[in-house]
Structure 1
């Protein structure tokens, strides 16, 4: 989906973050909605569009029509041939997602080896959910390890344990998300339960893996005392390095419009510093090293 250079919030040091498409969760606040589908898709930037109609004329599938003066793509007809993006003079249309071989991806990763060496950084694989592509992921992880590049996996934890077993030996660090401790609420806000996620986290801990816990904090969803206390109790029994508390933000909202999707948390605000400090104190009092932010 994307290769982000000079990333400093996805593990130690300066990193290259590789975002893979596809995710089994459907979090209400997802700030990368373009990562949810495994297949490539069209992103439309309405603010750039000149309504010239050239995309409509050039589409061989006749998959585009004008609605209220702007082009709308019929996903059922579109085969992502790219003609509409090639001929868009204002760059208002973009195909998100492409296939890359391990060799081609490694060419991009090793361009930044000097930064990894100087900062004790490396490569982070995120998404989406990278473990949806465990076989491919392990091939690229192995290639990184063969060059001495530090490897990190940013995961929701929602996958069969066998997928973790494929990549665990070639992964130096896991950034593991905990979004809600209540199974029913987890299903409501993420579209799946949390039983598998928590069991996988326990197993990673028992295996002695290096783990950072990432916990997004969303007002009215998971910031209540009951949920925070349950998370503190659960995490305090694990072998983890530290917890990152990530305050909710709205930075992904515009992407929903560009993908013709509905954003479910419209109007929600970032939690206050006071709320974040109170939550962080609960973790710290339990002896858990905790940081607000990535």
Structure 2
């Protein structure tokens, strides 16, 4: 047994658990979404994952204007304008959850919950029969799982002790000292490659890509199976020359199992609005299926690995 009682007691902050997922690794899977990410991708489709803390979401279309939140909040965060619109002073919100508890219309929702490894393990084991019949398992996503290294490592240990296939979806932007010990307990690394040009990577994600690419190489050298996942964002990283560079990189990774292209979609707008943020990405159309197939074929011509199109 690798997992200890101490591992089961480790706490982390998650914002969702998605059961019966089929796009985040092989087979039927449960995806655990961890909160906190060091990147600020302009096209992020889970903006609620970025902050490492709990945060308040407001779904305006649900609000009935009852004022229960005004009475419940100890910090005067909530108010209503003369026209009935709900005003939120996010600078003074402590994410205590009192307003969301009082909001029976569920217009206010606290994003993020603290859980123990034991709690998550109990939840994911409910679907063990589906994992076994489909070759599935558990995927840690986010956010960035390695932004919570102790929780991620303990959860991976616990899952492997339960004979579960484990996958980690990572940006690779983390110290190698954090990533390396987790590989022993990871069946598959889903490695996100946003952009191979350093300047473009900084522009679109807010961070340099040197550490990311170094970690990708280290993971391959360590013998861990890798699937490269590339978000295809028109005007940002969908040039044919960039995909050629992806193919060249892929051909040098001995443990690569495949490349997966993920077409950008603009469906996260309501998520940004709910947490009082806006996307920094200029308005762009989602890539067509034909365009994604064209790019996939381009990679296939340059490296001998499966290239798939996902969501």
Aligned residues: 294
Corresponding residue for residue 8 of structure 2: none
Q: Which residue of 2 aligns with 1:146?
A: 161
The CA deviation string for residues 208-254 of structure 1, in whole angstroms up to 9 with x for no partner, is 11111100111110011221121111111112000001111112121
Shift of 1:277: 2.0
> Is there any run of 5+ residues in structure 2 with no aligned partner, and where?
1-14
Indicate if the aligned counterparts of 2:269 and 2:278 stay in contact, CA closer than 8 A.
no
User: Do residues 251 (structure 1) and 267 (structure 2) align?
Assistant: yes
- Residue 65 of structure 1 corresponds to 79
CA distance in 1, matches of 2:96, 2:162: 36
- Residues 36-91 of structure 1: CA distance to partner in whole angstroms, max 9, x if unpaired? 00100001101111122221122122121224533233233222222211121211
Contact 1:134/1:166 (<8 A) preserved: no
- Of residues 28, 40, 43, the one that matches 1:29 is 43
1:46 pairs with 2:72: no
Q: Greater CA deviation, 163-172 or 14-23?
A: 163-172
Once superposed, what is the RMSD of the aligned Cα atoms? 1.3
Distance 1:81 1:220 in 2: 40
Deviation, structure 1 residue 266: 4.9
How far is the alpha carbon of 1:278 from its aligned partner?
A: 1.9
Per-residue CA deviation, residues 3-34 of structure 1 (Å, 9 max, x unaligned), is: 01111101011100000000000001100000
Q: Which of residues 226, 250, 262 is equivalent to 1:235?
A: 250
Partner in structure 2 of residue 102 of structure 1: 117
Tell me the residue number matched to 2:149. Answer: 134
**SS of corresponding position for 1:43:** strand
**1:274-285 alignment runs, 5 A limit:** 274-285=290-301
Separation in structure 2 between the aligned mates of residue 246 and residue 166 of structure 1, nearest angstrom: 28
- Aligned equivalent of 1:114, options 129, 137, 149: 129
**Paired residue for 2:285?**
269
TM-score by length of 1: 0.97
CA distance in 2, matches of 1:236, 1:155: 20
